[in-house]
Structure 1
Amino acid sequence: MTDSFTVRSIEGVCFRYPLATPVVTSFGKMLNRPAVFVRVVDEDGVEGWGEAWSNFPAPGAEHRARLINEVLAPGLVGRKLENPAQAFEVLSKGTEVLALQCGEPGPFAQAISGIDLALWDLFARRRNLPLWRLLGGQSSKIKVYASGINPGGAAQTAEAALKRGHRALKLKVGFGAETDIANLSALLTIVGAGMLAADANQGWSVDQALEMLPRLSEFNLRWLEEPIRADRPREEWRKLRANAKMPIAAGENISSVEDFEAALGDDVLGVIQPDIAKWGGLTVCVELARQILRVGKTFCPHYLGGGIGLLASAHLLAAVGRDGWLEVDANDNPLRDLFCGPVADVREGTIELNQNPGLGIVPDLSAIERYRSI
């Protein structure tokens, strides 16, 4: 089968799973879990699957699915492609003015990323290679950590994660110093030194973060994630770096080549976390991950969504190798668990991808049909 292919169809489908317990961050709650899955089929009947980031705002998932189906798909259907990067370029350049006109560069970038992931899955299937190997990986085993641990019931969530095979945890902070410190103390006892990270979700001002840093230093954090807003001046980030005893992490809310280059060019961030379903897809983020490693920083893909994007993130981490960790949300979500393949099987803090072509699974969406909204 040749590398080149013609796109026959592209479809975005949206699902919403209602939550009994909301997922809480310092900036708001998720009352349900959305997922926008993308299916691309070529003229030979080979299919590929991807996922577009769609967590916020609540109605945003359906909007992204419509962007895929009504705006982006017509630009690729019937087009002959040599590789997925060509499609990424066509869609990105072809919608620049439209995204500017409607003030929505984020949703467009996320919808394009979902299509990009699906095309890479398709491309690997055409080559009869697992995606991690097509992208240059040498080992199928990667480390994972349990994230999304809410301030309420943190210890119980952490203990359940360890029973599922996890050996590293990340706690959400930004809910008041006493709550944060109490939860960190409990989790440190559960998981042990060097295996705990914290995520403030942009919840502090620089002064609040500086006030918290001495109190956080006792926990031997693997990293402190997004202590302040991603768009704050570099001087504020540098002030945090100068006073922090732990590595600083960010990346999920960086969404341009220029801003990533700035992050790579100084010593502020020790851990960089691009989200392939939110910006750049695999077309941009494979090389970005390699650049992160070349400058001596740790690459840890950010992810909080359904299973297809999580699985693609696992393939990227396996492809670039080294000592990064894959983020696996600890909260209830069948839209994740039913479609993340081997990522659901955590053993001693690691997972191992299979040798099947592409992502290694063929999703059966009939199992979640009752949650479909588009």
Structure 2
Amino acid sequence: MACTADTAFSVERIDVFVFRAPADPPVQTSFGIMRDRPAVLLCVTDTQGACGWGEVWCNFPVVGAEHRARMAATYLRPLVCGSRFEHPRACFEALTAKLAVLALQCGEPGTLQQIVAGLDIALWDMLARRAAMPLWRLLSDGALDRPAPIPLYASGINPTDPDQLAAAKLQEGYRAFKLKVGFGAARDSANLQAIREVIGEDAPFMVDANQAWDMEEAIAAGRRMERFGLGWLEEPIRADRPAADWTRLAAEQPLRLAGGENLAGLAQFDEFIGTGGMTVIQPDLGKWGGFSGCLEVGRRTLRQGKTFCPHWLGAGIGLTASFHLKAVVGGPGYVEVDANPNPLRELLALPTFQLVDGAVQLDERPGLGVEPDLQACRDFIVQVAGT
């Protein structure tokens, strides 16, 4: 990826912040409940004084945020601070290689991939700020004069009174919606019917099962839900099932299949992009890859004629980063926005994005174009680790 700005850097400092805000109501999935909303932010400062912000995926387990913050402070700092890198991707690749044996030894490849991903986001933000240009322009090598509006969908709609939340999000300006399913056939069907009645027959409407079913259950569910005109069925089976299982599932039920938030590495993404099962590809840039990995995933997705929809269900830095990622990749599809209340989505990424006719428009502000308001979030800060 060629860039129009200087991409070499030396990091002087990495600061790590952990936040927790109440989840009211709790966020329900088929495998667990989030009773608070965590966030882990990384702030990198280079030797020229430029700063950038990144976010690490940390929703699960319930103690995961503090652990990831400690891992970031312990392992990223000695490997990055004081070293010179010619490009964020070079840093991403070096860290991935250096941490590979540790990942095997401690059995935590996910945690290490996540802290590297959050750092990558921060490095790209830092370089774009240093160059005084928006990140979407830096990532596109100047090819984008102005990004197209980015369609959003209201995600994470819980199975308890989902029609009420859908109605509120429709009033706010959302035009596409996604419901959590996997709570029993009767309850799922009743919730689907209730939301369809609220949003209308033509509104884009998707479902997410969060790996709830085995193959036969997923086939039955897809057939059962066909009548609701759904845009996709997300993670109906376990994410570690081989691509051949997803191909079979796609053939034996009518709904398009979506997934990718629990995939890691270009080889694994290529396996799913290159086969017929999963047609909506959803990497989470705070979980694996950052921009350095997920931008390439997006481009490979479009080359195969599939749909690219970045996954995100965290705080505001990662959400804004997902906007930039989708803007640069382009193509049809959406970025998801959690429909549930979360003060960390707004306070950690100011100014708050503006929804217009179901989409958001990125502007010319440097870097990600947002800043966390640490003072406003002081009651939510539970851990800070400076150098």
Shorter-chain TM range is over 0.9
CA 1:281–1:2 in structure 2 vs 1: closer, same or farther (change >3 Å)? Answer: closer
CA 1:343–1:369 in structure 2 vs 1: closer, same or farther (change >3 Å)? Answer: closer
- C-alpha separation between the residues in 2 aligned to 1:73 and 1:115? 10
- C-alpha separation between the residues in 1 aligned to 2:349 and 2:362? 10
Sequence identity, in percent?
Answer: 49
Paired residues of 1:3 and 1:126 also in contact (CA < 8 A): no
Paired residues of 2:244 and 2:277 also in contact (CA < 8 A): no
2:252 is aligned to 243
- C-alpha separation between the residues in 1 aligned to 2:294 and 2:222? 31
Deviation >6 Å, runs of 4+:
none
- C-alpha separation between the residues in 2 aligned to 1:311 and 1:227? 27
1:141 is aligned to 149
SS in 2 for 1:20: strand
2:333 is aligned to 324
Question: Which residue identity is paired with 2:36?
Answer: N
Moved more, 49-58 or 67-76: 67-76
Moved more, 292-301 or 123-132: 123-132
1:335 is aligned to 344
Q: CA deviation at 1:5?
A: 2.2
- C-alpha separation between the residues in 1 aligned to 2:335 and 2:351? 13
Paired residues of 2:132 and 2:367 also in contact (CA < 8 A): yes
SS in 2 for 1:373: strand
SS in 2 for 1:353: coil
Q: What does residue range 337-356 of structure 1 map to in structure 2 within 5 Å? A: 337-341=346-350, 344-356=353-365
SS in 1 for 2:305: coil
Q: CA deviation at 1:177?
A: 0.6
1:172 is aligned to 180
Paired residues of 2:247 and 2:275 also in contact (CA < 8 A): no
- C-alpha separation between the residues in 2 aligned to 1:118 and 1:203? 33
CA 1:214–1:343 in structure 2 vs 1: closer, same or farther (change >3 Å)? Answer: farther
Q: CA deviation at 1:31?
A: 0.7
Matched, 1:73 2:77: yes
Matched, 1:38 2:35: no
Q: CA deviation at 1:341?
A: 4.4
- C-alpha separation between the residues in 2 aligned to 1:129 and 1:237? 41
> Any unmatched runs of 5+ in structure 2?
none
Matched, 1:87 2:91: yes
Q: CA deviation at 1:24?
A: 0.2
1:155 is aligned to 163
Normalising by structure 1, what TM-score?
0.97
Matched, 1:191 2:199: yes
Moved more, 244-253 or 2-11: 2-11
Paired residues of 1:140 and 1:354 also in contact (CA < 8 A): no
Paired residues of 2:285 and 2:291 also in contact (CA < 8 A): yes
Q: What does residue range 146-295 of structure 1 map to in structure 2 within 5 Å? A: 146-192=154-200, 193-295=202-304
- C-alpha separation between the residues in 2 aligned to 1:335 and 1:201? 23
Task: Spell out, residue by residue over 1:156-183, the C-alpha distance to the aligned partner (whole angstroms, 9 max, x if none).
Answer: 1101111111000000000001110111
Matched, 1:8 2:12: yes
CA 1:247–1:2 in structure 2 vs 1: closer, same or farther (change >3 Å)? Answer: closer
Paired residues of 2:349 and 2:372 also in contact (CA < 8 A): no
Paired residues of 1:7 and 1:80 also in contact (CA < 8 A): yes
Normalising by structure 2, what TM-score?
0.94
Question: Which residue identity is paired with 1:85?
Answer: R
Paired residues of 2:350 and 2:371 also in contact (CA < 8 A): no
Paired residues of 1:303 and 1:309 also in contact (CA < 8 A): yes
Paired residues of 2:153 and 2:176 also in contact (CA < 8 A): yes
- C-alpha separation between the residues in 1 aligned to 2:296 and 2:22? 36
2:123 is aligned to 119
Paired residues of 1:11 and 1:68 also in contact (CA < 8 A): no
Paired residues of 1:36 and 1:54 also in contact (CA < 8 A): yes
CA 1:286–1:148 in structure 2 vs 1: closer, same or farther (change >3 Å)? Answer: same
1:62 is aligned to 66
SS in 2 for 1:366: coil
Question: Which residue identity is paired with 1:307?
Answer: G
- C-alpha separation between the residues in 2 aligned to 1:346 and 1:340? 15
- C-alpha separation between the residues in 1 aligned to 2:373 and 2:347? 9
Q: CA deviation at 1:362?
A: 2.4
